[in-house]
Amino acid sequence: MRPLILALLATLLLALPVRAQDVAQILSENRALIEKASRQTIGPVISDLAASGDPAAAAVLTAWADRGLGVRKSDGAFLLIAPVEQGWALRDLTGADVGMAAKSDIDDLRPNSGVRGLIAVALVQFQLTDSDPARRDDALTAISREPEAAHLEALRAATAPEPDSARAARKARLERLLTVRFDPDPAARIAAIEGFGADTGLDLRAVLNPLVATTRRATAGDLPSGINLARVLQPGKHLSNAEAYALLVDAKLAPARLTLEQARSALIANLHDGQVGGVALADLNTEPARARAYNALEAAGAVPPAATDDEVDAALKAHRFYETYAEPDAAVTTASLAALDGIGTKVGAMQAVDLALDALSLASIYFLAAIGLAITFGVMRVINMAHGEFIMMGAYTGYVVQQWVPNYTASILIALPLAFAVTFAAGVAMERLVIRYLYKRPLETLLATFGISIALQQIAKNIFGTQARPLTAPAWLDGAWMLNDVVSISYIRIAIFVLALGFMVFFLWLMKRTRIGLQVRAVTQNPSMAASMGINPDRINMLTFGIGSGIAGIAGVAIGLFAKVTSELGSDYIVQSFMTVVVGGVGNIWGTLLGAAMIGFFQKGIEWLNPSNTLAAQTYMILFIILFIQFRPRGIIALKGRAAGD
């Protein structure tokens, strides 16, 4: 019976898990390495601590990284230390308080940055399973910033379910990215690459691009076996002869090229009895003769080896040149190239969408700036060169309102109608005092309004100074709508686009559905007939000019949210505004919309072709519009009716 009991006890003992080596023992056995730790030697010790299974491992590693681990000189015990006024407050490795010690009694460990980096890698496995979500987020951030092969195993070992779906997705994505980079199994890496599908993330591209990076090499014989060949290179076709020979020199397959200065110095230094290397001095007047002389000196060991032009050509013909991928596995590079090709196609499409959004945004700005001019110039035939200054007045109105109303949302809501009122009044005053006397005299209206434009700019400088004034957008207009890492558009530009659409609807309603719109159209088509029907043309012209000026003021508030508010603000948009109206078709709101779209898209297209020179884009745009007007002098949508012949 007793032997049976002993056998059962032995079986139970064998079935019990063996306790891993504890932290204290590991530290004690490796004290010498720890006290003089370096990145090259301490790695195994840190790995043993992380894999020990001791609950104190995470606290010890954290304390070590934070310089909170010390060794007591009297007995060599490792302790957790914290500085206090009397010296050190001590805790044992389990965290229990064990009293105080003078600073002279403790050797505090101060790991360098390399050792701290190794500790940080080891701590990831503990942070990934920490109960604190913030610590888990920190671990994922640390991995994404400086990924290492050890992180892959740590991610895979953290099998506990993640309750937060976003964090779980981030963790899974990191695991796939690290699989692509560090997994030793090519099949697993290929599966991870293909698992990203249509993903175009920057982090994925950052992982794939190094795999398909190539290095140029040279060899004296056949291509080496076992390489991941990208392509065979031909000097003069895929690379220059100079680049090819430089590869030979770097690979120590050929001597450095002989320069003219080197050859001249060597030949002069070895001139003896009227000869150099057996070649008479009188015969050294040709390049082949000088090359023979240098080769003879080289064979005699009188000069260092160097290649002449003939030797360079011979060396290029005798060697082979090729490119290899940084990734040794061909199947992995094939999968990476296929993924990058797909990403390139999608990114190109997204860049086109982003460019279209930029162009649409610019078109909406031009439309908003030109819609008031479409009324004054398009309907009334008045060339108002001061239209840009009404835009400037609207922007300054918004700035003044913000000085009195600190809430940016409220200030913008107040500034929009107030800017309309201010510029409406200014437009009515200008029409009553100047424009009414110059109808059907376009050259004189141009000169008069140009003078008014200069005067308004100077008045603005006198009041507000020459420094740019801030017109701050509300917080809800900060930032941009990010569809992905390629396509985005700022919320301010979206707001301007919506505002431009709103004014288009307002203009159509005003001209098609209201009494004043009917009267404006009547006066535009035939002022004499309209007057005979009881319409006052002078009053209609005054209101029309005021409405066009008021809309310019509202455009100024919108433009001032992203542009510098200065006295020259309007001059930046007056040319584009006139071009928009003329190209679109004088007196037609739909033509103005199409003109703004054409100019905006054309300008952005030129900027995309030549991004370093925006001035060239504007120059080409003006040339294009001049050519366009030659073929369609009445614009995209020509005005019909009697007014078309005015």
Of 117, 144, 169, which marks where a domain is finished? Answer: 117
Spatial separation of the C-alpha atoms in residues 521 and 234, rounded to whole Å: 73
- Same domain? 477 vs 572: yes
90, 165: one domain: no
Indicate whether 216 belongs to any domain: no
Same-domain status, 479 and 565: yes
Q: What was the pLDDT predicted at 356?
A: 86
In a domain, 256, yes or no: no
Q: Are residues 562 and 610 in the same domain?
A: yes
Residue 441 and residue 512 in one domain: yes
CA distance 205 to 201: 6
Asked whether residue 223 is assigned to any structural domain, the reply reads no
For 577-620, the DSSP string reads HHHHHHHH-TT-HHHHHHHHHHHHHHHHHHHHHSTT-HHHHHHH
Report mean pLDDT in 10-residue bins for the chain, 646 residues.
39 36 82 84 83 80 86 86 87 86 86 83 78 83 82 80 86 90 92 88 89 91 88 90 88 80 73 73 72 74 74 87 92 92 87 86 84 73 85 92 90 92 93 85 85 92 88 83 78 85 84 84 79 85 88 89 85 81 75 85 81 68 79 69 45
Report the pLDDT value the prediction gives residue 213, as an integer from 0 to 100: 93
User: Which bin fits 432, alpha (ψ -120 to 50), beta or left (φ > 0)?
Assistant: alpha
Q: Is 76 left (phi over 0), alpha (psi -120 to 50) or beta?
A: left
Residues 568 and 420 in one domain: yes
Residue 213 β-bridge partners: none
Cβ(162)–Cβ(168) below 8 Å: yes
Listed residues 72, 97, 117: the one ending a domain: 117
pLDDT of residue 426: 94
Q: How many domains does the chain have?
A: 4
Residue in 169, 200, 183 with CA at minimum distance from that of residue 329: 183
Helix (H, G, I), strand (E, B) or coil at 68: coil
User: Rounded to whole angstroms, how far apart are CA atoms 502 and 367?
Assistant: 11
Q: Is residue 148 part of a domain?
A: yes
Residues 416, 520 within the same domain = yes
Alpha carbons 547 and 541: distance in angstroms, whole number: 10
Say which DSSP state 471 is in: -
Other CB atoms closer than 10 Å to residue 491's CB: what's the count? Answer: 15
In a domain, 122, yes or no: no
Q: Domain residues for 206?
A: 128-211
End-to-end CA distance of the chain: 126
DSSP one-letter code for 194: H
Q: Which residues pair with 84 in a beta bridge?
A: 87
**Closest C-alpha among 591, 502, 512 to residue 555:** 502
In the listed set 273, 306, 339, which residue is the last one of a domain according to the structure? 306
Question: Could you tell me if 613 and 491 lie in one domain?
Answer: yes
Same domain as 186, residue 40: no
Find out whether 277 and 295 touch, Cβ atoms under 8 Å: yes
* 411 plus 517 within the same structural domain: yes
Strand partners, 235: 239
In a domain, 338, yes or no: no
Q: What is residue 605's predicted lDDT score, i.e. its pLDDT? A: 82
> What pLDDT was estimated at residue 2?
44
Task: Check whether residue 437 and residue 366 sit in a common domain.
Answer: yes
CA dist., res. 617 & res. 609, Å (int): 9
The DSSP bridge partners found for residue 232 are: 322
* Predicted pLDDT of residue 5: 38
- Is residue 454 assigned to a domain? yes
Q: Which residues of 509-536 are buried (b: 16+ CB within 10 A; e: fewer)?
A: ebbeeeeebebbbbbbbebeebeeeebe
Q: Return the DSSP state at 78.
A: E
- Indicate the length of the chain as a whole number: 646
Beta carbons of 215 and 306 less than 8 angstroms apart:
no
- Read off the tokens for 73: 């000189």
Q: Cα(474)–Cα(168) distance, rounded to whole angstroms?
A: 35
Residue 481, token pair as written in the block: 């709508």
Q: Say whether both 181 and 72 belong to one domain.
A: no
Report helix, strand or coil for 629: helix
Residue 170 lies in a domain: yes
> Within 13 Å, how many C-alpha atoms sit on residue 467's CB side?
3
The answer to whether 267 and 284 are in contact (CB under 8 A) is yes
Q: What are the angstrom distances between the C-alpha of 640 and each of 452, 583, 637?
A: 32, 16, 9
